[in-house]
Structure 1
Amino acid sequence: MDAAQWDERYRASAGGVWASEPPAVVREIADTLRPGTAIDVATGDGRTALGLSARGWAVTGVDFSAEALGIAAARPGGDAVTWVRADVHAWEPVASADLVVSCYLHLHDNAAAIARVAGWVGVGGTLVVVGHDVENIAAGGHGPSDPAILYTPELLRGALDERFRIERCERVVRGTGDAELRGGHTHAAIDTLLHAVRVR
């Protein structure tokens, strides 16, 4: 989907598409870190950016949908986040960040896109990527059905270079209590998680 299609989806959503809380695994990792600066890539209607901001992070939320960003900015705490309308392929932050998070960004150049956003992490900072795994199709979980845009641990691991130490890169099962969509979903889902630290 392009930006116009996402704008239409958000316009039709009556208040937002995604759940109100960041994914549980993102909360778990972020809660082990000292809050600093964070970039939420493909922030959508803001659940991860707002969740991090509420935990003390200075957050920039980036998305190419103006409608999504409008919903995010209007939510409680939305005025504490810097919202940027931009494409991940073109935007560059003014400074590196202590934490870069990408949740459910699925593109035909996934590895290149993740490598690009990894470059936004400062030395000593953390990268967290979570998205639908290719095995999610057979599992019947919510998400894209095109395997060409889905993740595997091998794909995400291969997106990083020697500047990063990988803490975790694995498939994780996300239960119905950790819903991606507003209103929840009835099936467990299989995601790929990458958690890495930039060491140089």
Structure 2
Amino acid sequence: MDAAQWDERYRASAGGVWATQPPAVVREITAALSAGTAIDVATGDGRTALWLAERGWRCTGLDFSSAGLALAAARPGGDAVDWVEGDVHAWQPAAPVDLVVSCYLHLPDSAAAVSRIAAWVAPGGTLVVVGHDVDNIAAGGHGPSDPAILYTPELLRGALDERFDVLRCERVTRSSADAELRDGHPAAAVDTVLHAVRRT
């Protein structure tokens, strides 16, 4: 979907598309970190950026959908986040940050996109990426059905260079209680999660 299609989806939603909380694995990893500067890539209607801001992070929420960003900015705490309309292929932060998070960013060039956002992580900083795994199709989980844009642990590992230590890169099963949609979905889903730290 392009930006115009996402704008249409957000405008048609009743208050937002995504759940109000970030994925459980993102909460688990980032809760153990000291707050600093962060970028939430493909922030959508803002759930991860808002969650981080509530915990003291100075957060930028990046998305190419102006409608999604408008929903995010209108949510409680929305004024604590710097909302930026931009494309992950072209936008660049003014300086590296302590944390870069990307949830469910699926593109034809996903490996290149992950490699690009990894460059935004400061030395000693953390990269967290989570998205639908290719095995999610067979599992019947919610999400894209095109394997060309889905993740595998091998794809995400291969997107990083020698500057990163990979602490975790694996498939995880997310229950319907940890649904990404605001209205939930009945089936469990298979994701890939990457947790890496840039060397100092």
Alignment TM-score, normalising by the size of structure 1: 0.99
CA distance in 1, matches of 2:10, 2:33: 32
Q: Secondary structure at the match of 1:128?
A: strand
CA distance in 2, matches of 1:40, 1:135: 25
CA distance in 2, matches of 1:198, 1:5: 35
TM-superposed CA distance for 1:84, in Å, is: 0.1
Give the structure 2 partner of residue 84 of structure 1.
84
TM-superposed CA distance for 1:170, in Å, is: 0.2
Read off the aligned partner of 2:188 and give its amino acid letter: A
Give the structure 2 partner of residue 117 of structure 1.
117
CA distance in 2, matches of 1:123, 1:172: 27
Is 1:52 matched up with 2:89?
no
Question: Where does the alignment leave 5 or more consecutive residues of structure 1 unmatched?
Answer: none
CA distance in 1, matches of 2:131, 2:61: 17
Read off the aligned partner of 2:146 and give its amino acid letter: D
Read off the aligned partner of 1:91 and give its amino acid letter: W
Q: Give the 5 Å matches for 1:116-155.
A: 116-155=116-155
Q: Give the 5 Å matches for 1:161-200.
A: 161-200=161-200
CA distance in 2, matches of 1:137, 1:124: 35
Give the structure 2 partner of residue 71 of structure 1.
71
Read off the aligned partner of 2:92 and give its amino acid letter: E
CA distance in 1, matches of 2:15, 2:177: 21
Give the structure 2 partner of residue 100 of structure 1.
100
TM-superposed CA distance for 1:95, in Å, is: 0.8
TM-superposed CA distance for 1:14, in Å, is: 1.8
Read off the aligned partner of 1:20 and give its amino acid letter: T
CA distance in 2, matches of 1:117, 1:83: 17
CA distance in 1, matches of 2:87, 2:67: 14
Give the structure 1 partner of residue 12 of structure 2.
12
Q: Secondary structure at the match of 2:105?
A: coil
CA distance in 1, matches of 2:22, 2:37: 17
TM-superposed CA distance for 1:183, in Å, is: 1.3
CA distance in 1, matches of 2:117, 2:13: 28
Question: Where does the alignment leave 5 or more consecutive residues of structure 2 unmatched?
Answer: none
Q: Secondary structure at the match of 1:165?
A: strand
TM-superposed CA distance for 1:56, in Å, is: 1.0
TM-superposed CA distance for 1:54, in Å, is: 0.8
Q: Could you tell which deviates more after superposition, 175-184 or 84-93? A: 175-184
Read off the aligned partner of 1:79 and give its amino acid letter: D
Read off the aligned partner of 1:94 and give its amino acid letter: A
CA offsets per residue over residues 112-171 of structure 1, 9 Å max, x none? Answer: 000000000000000000000000000000000000000000000000000000000000
TM-superposed CA distance for 1:55, in Å, is: 1.1
Alignment TM-score, normalising by the size of structure 2: 0.99
TM-superposed CA distance for 1:91, in Å, is: 0.2
Query: RMSD in angstroms over aligned alpha carbons?
Result: 0.5
